[in-house]
Amino acid sequence: MILKDGYNASADWDEIARDLHPVSVNDDPVLIRKRSRDFFWYSPLLNAQLRYCFGNLVALPGSADEMSRCLSTACKHVIPVILRGGGTGNYGQSVPLMGGLIIDTTGMSKIISIGDETICVESGALMADINAALLRHGREMAMYPSTQDMATIGGFVAGGSSGIGSVANGVLRDKGNIIQIKALSVEEEPREHVFNAEESLHVHHAWGINGAITQVTLRTVPARNWIGCMATFDSYQKCYAAGYALAESQKIGRKLCSTVDARIAEYFPRLKGHLREGMHLLLALVPKEDMPKFDRFIAGQGGNLDLAMTERQLKAANLPQLHEFAYNHTTLQILKADRSATYQQIGVRDASCDSDVAAVAEVLGDDVWPHHEFARVNGRILAFDLPIIWFSDERRLREIDSIYAEHGHHVADAHSFHIEGGGMKNADYRHLAWKKRLDPLGLLNPGKSRTWEKVRHLSASEIESMQPDDGK
Ligand SMILES: Cc1cc2nc3c(=O)[nH]c(=O)nc-3n(C[C@H](O)[C@H](O)[C@H](O)COP(=O)(O)OP(=O)(O)OC[C@H]3O[C@@H](n4cnc5c(N)ncnc54)[C@H](O)[C@@H]3O)c2cc1C
């Protein structure tokens, strides 16, 4: 075996396919190309860097035993392994940078058990299916991303952070939301490790670099009859202030609360005729019983409630579900019309301060259009701006980042494929210590952690004892 950068440079993919038996494999070059992509093309910078990165073979395990077979085969042949759920990540998290075996987990989709306040599922289950199963028990997921129709729970836990429900129930990393994660190591004989609630942060948001998640147990909440609401405002500042007040409200239930600049709303053609034109938009999912209060609340904030429909009514009116205008779906609505747009991820300095939001908008200029999501993080309401940016070049993108930073906002760069490049900034040494334990050869998702190469020669406990700035 000839090793290059620690991987087998002379891998025989026919032999690997045979060794994977009885796991289904697919070597169709078109399918391999499709399974090598995610939504990195949201970023022109990532698009230039990642568009020609492809894997060599796709494996489709249907159970944890078959996943184990994939991992032991990868270990025997010393090949990179890329775990992939729905492939809806935005930063190339599931793109193979050095070729390798793509493990498509969507065949591992069993719902294992539904408890009074929990659900246990295989990692490849789609979140829309999980929610449908829960609904029959009068429950729903505490939060789910706007990609629930395509995205898996394993991908959400490994690559996501928050979503619809977070304004009420917190983000994934908040205590009590993830109850247990089971993951397999990449060794000739893979071992199962069970991470309890406290330990789940060791694998949560690790981008599949430190273990193959096979099973997840999550908290659920009572299902409610949610009404999709769209209210319009004549100024973005007023709209944002109403969004914050709703997010903080103790009296009105809500599982989604987003505000969208009027210029972005122009790109929602299917809503034409349903909303006042040229107005800023507040999107909310509100329980039916709270609608009279919500109606009064919107009027009190100086807005108009233009649309209020149940899921069924939206379908009957041939309108998309509300979440298709929220989170990164807002960006997608623009990208459907014009690929010269991109976005950024900004943590607002003080969510309660709508004048801050107005002040930074004044300085930013016409190529940046605001869109905010409100979420409860560790008990506090925070606001995240996912602005539309009309991309000219990297220099201007970084100038925009600096303007946000100078105003005290936190930039979580959406244009980096390194795990340390986004919201985390520093290496997460817990993630890397578990990588050493569960993936000693460093086969999982190579190239995604900048820090791994600096620490891979250390023991797991040495890595774990490092401090956030040690790797700089
Ligand atoms: C339009 C749009 C809207 C979005 N909205 C949201 C949102 O509301 N909230 C949010 O948090 N994100 C959002 N995202 C990002 C993404 O959709 C979610 O994070 C989603 O949950 C990812 O799931 P997936 O199955 O597609 O994962 P993938 O993209 O397939 O994988 C994501 C990461 O997880 C790893 N992974 C996958 N499966 C496993 C496994 N079994 N074990 C270990 N690692 C694994 C992969 O290697 C990769 O690093 C959005 C993206 C788009 C394009």
Measure the CA angle with vertex 71, ends 66 and 74; round to 5°.
125
157 CB under 6 A from ligand 1? no
Percentage of the chain with pLDDT > 90?
96
Architecture per CATH, 226-411: 3-Layer(aba) Sandwich (3.40)
| 416-427 pLDDT, tens digit each | 999 998 766 678
148 CB under 6 A from ligand 1? no
How many angstroms separate the CA atoms of 258 and 325, rounded?
9
- Indicate whether 159 pLDDT > 90: yes
- Ligand 1 center to 152 CA (angstroms): 7
| 262-299 pLDDT, tens digit each | 999 999 999 999 999 999 999 999 999 999 999 999 99
- Ligand 1 center to 237 CA (angstroms): 31
329 CB under 6 A from ligand 1? yes
User: Could you tell me the residue ranges of all domains in the chain?
Assistant: 3-106, 226-411
Radius of gyration, alpha carbons of the chain: 22
Nearest-atom number in ligand 1 for the CA of 124 is: 41
E-state strands within 49-124:
57-60, 81-84, 101-104, 111-114, 118-122
How many angstroms separate the CA atoms of 314 and 312, rounded?
5
Nearest-atom number in ligand 1 for the CA of 326 is: 8
Neighbours of 296 (CB within 10 A): 12
Nearest-atom number in ligand 1 for the CA of 203 is: 43
145 CB under 6 A from ligand 1? yes
70 CB under 6 A from ligand 1? no
How many angstroms separate the CA atoms of 376 and 374, rounded?
7
Residues 242-260 as b or e (16 or more Cβ within 10 Å = b): bbbbbbebeebbbbbbbbb
226-411 and 3-106 share a CATH fold: no
106 CB under 6 A from ligand 1? no
Assign 313 a pLDDT band (cuts: 50, 70, 90): very high
| 234-243 pLDDT, tens digit each | 999 999 999 9
- Indicate whether 472 pLDDT > 60: no
Dihedral over alpha carbons 9, 79, 460, 427 (to 10 degrees): 90
Assign 334 a pLDDT band (cuts: 50, 70, 90): very high
Encoding tokens for residue 372? 């905010």
The letter for the amino acid at 401 is D
Give 83's Cβ-side CA count (13 Å radius): 31
pLDDT at 422 (0 to 100): 77
Architecture per CATH, 3-106: 2-Layer Sandwich (3.30)
Report the residue among 38, 40, 60, 156 best suited for mutation to probe ligand 1: largest number of ligand atoms under 8 A from its CB: 156
pLDDT at 471 (0 to 100): 55
* Nearest alpha carbon, ligand 1 atom 3: 328
What mean pLDDT value characterizes the chain?
A: 96
